[in-house]
Amino acid sequence: MSQPSQESNAASTRATEMTCDVLVIGGGPAGCWAALEAVGANAKVILVDKGYCGSSGATASAGTQIWYVPPDPAGREKAMASREAMGGYLSERAWMMPVLDKTFESVNRLADWGYPFPVDEKGEQQRISVQGPEYMRLLRRRAKNAGVTILDHHPALHLLTDGGTVTGARGLRRQEGGQWTIKAGAVVLAAGGCAFMSKALGCDVLTGDGYLMAAEAGAELSGMEFSSAYAISPAFASITKTALYRFAQFYRRDHSLIEGAGSARGRSVIARTLLSEPVYARLDLAGTDEVKAILRRAQPNFFIPFDRRSIDPFTEFFEVKLRLEGTVRGTGGLRLTGLDCATTVSGLYAAGDSATREPICGGFTGGGSHNAAWAMSTGTFAGASAAAFARDKTGPSTVAQAVPRCPETAGTIDPHAVVKAVQDEVFPLDVNYFRTHSGLSASLQRLDRLWETIAAATAADESQMLQLRQAQAMTATARFMYRAALSRTESRGMHRREDFPEQDAAQHHRLIISGLDKLTIRKETIDPGVYREAAE
């Protein structure tokens, strides 16, 4: 396999060209696991991150649980059955079992590498959660030590293709200035989902860039209607660790209890109340000092904004809001054709939140635990498969071309205004949480007109390129979401239709969406037998 080399930097110090076997786009857990697996298969790997690999993204900023289930048949059966109904029976055990196996193996590798899992009173490690900062520091260090070339602050803007096969990507050097081009035998997209810059903790770098790049290359997406994930957060802070609100009750301004409100099944009650009045919370179900101490140890970041304001969340009321997390917590993303995590485009693989999480979560969020397991397992599967694809390629690659989307001439667009326009369509609870045909249709029409305005826009200068690309990606993602949501005329998983409140047995299928200017929807039957074995 080829060496990751800098082919030319002479023509201009503002342009860098490199080559490698596997290019990984995204430096979160899925990207790191993909890079580790690929380099372990003797591939030469470059990982590019929009921010700093190890500190950017949703995982690095807080702790997360892991869907870690030892290979006991009864335990595995319980784990797989636990969310099937909530997900509208769109998950598949043909995926769940290998994900559980790979997650169990990967977490144990973390322990072997020295991750400091907490120890119980019997001296046994509790491997069911990780703290983001320590976890990501360890993955970064392991990747660098294994020989992965990590390029921080190198956002990808476009994929390169050659005869219908993805052969690399092109992007920006945010700190040095200029642009980069990396030609690769295969590409793994692990760029995360899209939270629409809602200021959810760690999520503002997650703007759907991977969806746009892949769609431009012809990839399909699935489950985009399951994107109305809103997290509970204090009104004064971005921390979104909803799990701790299991210990909360919710109140009106006069401190009267809101009956039925809760962090899990009662979140709709909170959402409906927020349509007309503010909502307050108090962690008053954490009854003992011992429980309070455990919560502080488990999620220390959660309490920082309270401590800064001298608020005791266990005894004092504080205002809360619902903050959109889009496909970061929702399950939509790039459609995978099999356990090798291939997309529908040759040479392009997807992992983590870039890929639809429907195979293990159906139409409902898996929460942090399933998301963490998905990142570990699909990252590993995709890294191995991409390395195998690059190894099996025959003949030298010809000059790759950027996916032709943006013409050279176009009007100048204000990216901030575009982002605000998209947020105005996807944030409102009475449009995106409580969905109706009229609300979705009106929003989609406005988004379609916005897309017509910005699809061909080019940045006024290099400093605007990333902002414009993010605005285009968010617009594209919102259109995918609402087009799919209009097509599913039932309520299933987290997709709630006020005009179709019941689950319809005739709609037990996936909705596959493709295209950009013209969006196309098709149905896909769920068949556990269609998946190929992962590359190991």
pLDDT of the chain along its 536 residues, tens only? 544 444 444 444 567 999 999 999 999 999 999 999 999 999 999 999 999 999 888 888 777 889 999 999 999 999 999 888 889 999 999 999 999 999 999 999 999 999 999 888 888 888 988 988 999 999 999 999 999 999 999 999 999 999 999 999 999 999 989 999 999 999 999 999 999 999 888 888 899 999 999 999 999 999 999 999 899 999 999 888 777 899 999 999 999 999 999 887 788 999 999 999 999 999 999 989 999 998 898 788 889 999 999 999 999 999 999 999 999 888 999 999 999 999 999 999 999 999 999 999 999 887 778 999 999 999 999 999 999 999 987 544 444 445 555 444 445 788 999 999 999 999 999 999 999 999 999 999 999 999 999 998 888 788 889 999 999 999 999 999 999 999 999 999 999 999 999 999 999 999 999 999 999 999 999 865 444 444 33
Contact 387, 42 (CB under 8 A): yes
The alpha carbon of residue 307 and the mean position of all alpha carbons in its chain are separated, in whole angstroms, by: 30
The alpha carbon of residue 509 and the mean position of all alpha carbons in its chain are separated, in whole angstroms, by: 22
Sign of CA dihedral 33, 38, 44, 48: negative
- Six token digits for residue 390: 């690059």
Contact 224, 327 (CB under 8 A): yes
Alpha-carbon gap, residue 536 to 534, rounded angstroms: 6
Q: How many residues does the chain have?
A: 536
Question: Within a 10 A sphere around the Cβ of 500, how many other Cβ atoms?
Answer: 18
If DSSP codes are grouped into helix, strand and coil, which group holds residue 142? helix
* pTM of the entire predicted model: 0.91
DSSP-assigned letters across all residues of 275-295: TTS-EEEE-TT--SHHHHHHH
**How is residue 14 annotated by DSSP?**
T
